[in-house]
Every structure is written in C-alpha cells, then in structure tokens.
Amino acid sequence: MTVPKTPVLVLDCSDPEPLARFYATLLGATVAPADGDPDLLLLHTPDGPALGIRRDPGQAPPSWPRPEDSQQAHLRILVAPDALDEAEREAISLGARPVAAEQNGTRLDRRTDLRRYTDPAGHAFVLAPAHGAPDRVSP
C-alpha cells in the first residue's frame, strides 16, 4: 500500500511574502505559514496545498528563457479556454512579465493557446487552456 502524499511545488526567492501574494491573487488561494518552517509559505486552494514559496536569501533569479537551453521546470496554470485573454490581463496586472516565444530562432505569434511569463521573482509559468469539465479545471 502506498503512503498518502501531497506534492507541492516550492519556489525559492529572496522575499517570499510579495511572491506569495502574487500567486495567491492569481490563483484565488489563501496563504499560511508552513508548520515547522518559518521560511516557507503555503498557498492553499479549496483542493488543498497548491504551491509553496520559500525564503532563500542567496537565491538568484532563474535565467529563462535561454536560447541554448530548454525551458526547465515551470508552473503550468490551467484556465478555461475562453478565459485565456482575461487570465493574461490579470497576470500582467499583478506583475507577470510576458516572455517572447521562439522556435528555431523565429518568434511565434503571441495569440497562441499557450501564454508564457515570468513571475515578479523571475520564475517561469504558463497559462494554458484546460480542456475538461467547465466547472472544474483539470490537468
């Protein structure tokens, strides 16, 4: 029998409170300190923990995208397909920075189904269409 587990992606940054507020507002989540770790904030949605933001005073912002590397790890936020434009406006108003998408040295049209950004601390994330039940976004 497998022991029950709850995976949580944790983003490191030098100042976790503003980054936690950014994602809490973007995801409609609440923020609470993690039990036993004063440097970790957990964002909770109605389904449970969704994301962690951890203080790391020596953390350097990621350098993505780099043409010579792959995208590396990123947060994928699923959105109803007809709400992508609205979600994009919301993310940018909160401080997200759009990232130009390129393929083989050619810039792709920004009006695609996948919207690429960095958060205020430089972590990569995308807004992607969720194809599933209209009342619940599923992977």
- Nearest to 88, CA basis, from 117, 62, 108, 64: 117
pLDDT of residue 6: 76
Which stretches in the chain have pLDDT values below 70? 3, 64-72, 101-112, 132-139
pLDDT of residue 132: 59
Token pair 């108003």 in the structure block, residue: 93
pLDDT of residue 138: 41
pTM of the model: 0.76
The whole-angstrom distance between residue 52's C-alpha and the CA centroid of its chain comes to 11
pLDDT of residue 96: 95
DSSP for 42-66? Answer: EEEETTEEEEEEEE-TTPPPP----
User: Residue 95 — φ and ψ, nearest 5°?
Assistant: 120, 5
- Sorted by where each starts, the structural domains of the chain and their CATH numbers stand as 1-58 (3.30.720.120), 61-139 (3.30.720)
User: Residue 136 — φ and ψ, nearest 5°?
Assistant: -150, 130
pLDDT of residue 105: 53
Look up residue 136 and give its two tokens.
């619940």
pLDDT of residue 48: 75
Given a contact cutoff of 8 angstroms between Cβ atoms, the answer to whether 127 and 85 are in contact is no
Look up residue 40 and give its two tokens.
């970790």
Distance, CA of 34 to CA of 55 (rounded, Å): 12
pLDDT of residue 69: 56
- The 10 Å Cβ neighbour count of residue 52 is 19
